Amino acid sequence: MPALSRQLLQSQLSAPLPEAPELVLVTDLDGTLLGGATAERRSFYRWLAEQRKRVLHVFCTGRDLASIARVLEEDEPIGLAAPHLVIGDVGCTVACGQSLLPVPLAVEPIDARWQGMEQRLLPMLEGQPGLAAQPLHSERRLAYYVDPEQFDHSLIPQLEAHGVDCLLSDNRYLDLLPAGVNKGSTLLALLAWLEVDPQLVVTAGDTLNDLAMFETGLNGVVVANAEAALLEQLPRLSSVYLASAEGCAGIAEGLRHFGFDHLWD
């Protein structure tokens, strides 16, 4: 059955995946893959492009697909190429990295969990102080900018009682996700379909919406510019490395820490 799932997954993509990747690199975008000095980013993007047949690259981000498309267009001049796969909407969307078309195998179960949620949740959120809707194009989550000083935090358990998880990150974002769906859960499902050896996987991030990735037990890199609330979680995350460098340089530092130096040869 796993082989069938991998074959089905590949059939729903517009571009092939590496046959036998030596590394599966799973990167958040803002503050992580898009973080650091321009020269460091340019160098890391060049390395990613050169290793495309050896490194299976996955974006794992809170951005929606339209926003990811803008990032790829804006950063193309410094060498950022499309990944092989995308996990977007904080885990609620999986898409082909080349076409940015959703992958039905991965998305349909999440759709089923989200059915009817907006009708239940929107009346509770309307007019709440400290909340402003983010301009997203997503069918499987609700996302808001939040002012933590004005927001009534007692609303969170009321919302979660309706079958969602509420995720506050970077002290300014609130995401409402189908219960049990996050970057980590979607990543693990994707890796199972791909039949990937977990030892070949490295995740990288910088905010609390990346915490679920780090809680999977997979090797992870927290870049130096991470938010304080994520850094507080590090003592219990034994498989996660805290880089001394920011953004792309921090990712590269973490990869060397986990023994992937040979990919720079």
Same domain, 196 and 84: yes
Q: What is the DSSP letter of 90?
A: G
CB atoms within 10 A of CB 135: 10
Query: What CATH number does the domain containing 47 carry?
Result: 3.40.50.1000
- Judgement on whether residues 206 and 99 belong to the same structural domain of the protein: yes
Q: How far is CA 241 from CA 215, 224, 233, 245, 256, in A?
A: 13, 10, 12, 12, 11
Concatenate the DSSP letters of all residues of 30-64 into one string.
IIIIT-S-HHHHHHHHHHHHHTTTTEEEEEE-SS-
Give the pTM: 0.94
Q: Do 249 and 162 belong to one domain?
A: no
Per-residue pLDDT tens over the stretch 109-140: 999 999 999 999 999 999 999 999 998 778 89
Q: Provide the domain limits for residue 120.
A: 115-178
Query: What tokens were used for 225?
Result: 């510019």
For residue 237, give the amino acid letter.
L
Band (7; pLDDT cuts 50, 70, 90): confident
Q: How do residues 32-57 score in pLDDT, each as one tens digit?
A: 999 999 999 999 999 999 999 999 99
Query: What is the CB neighbour count within 10 angstroms for residue 160?
Result: 13
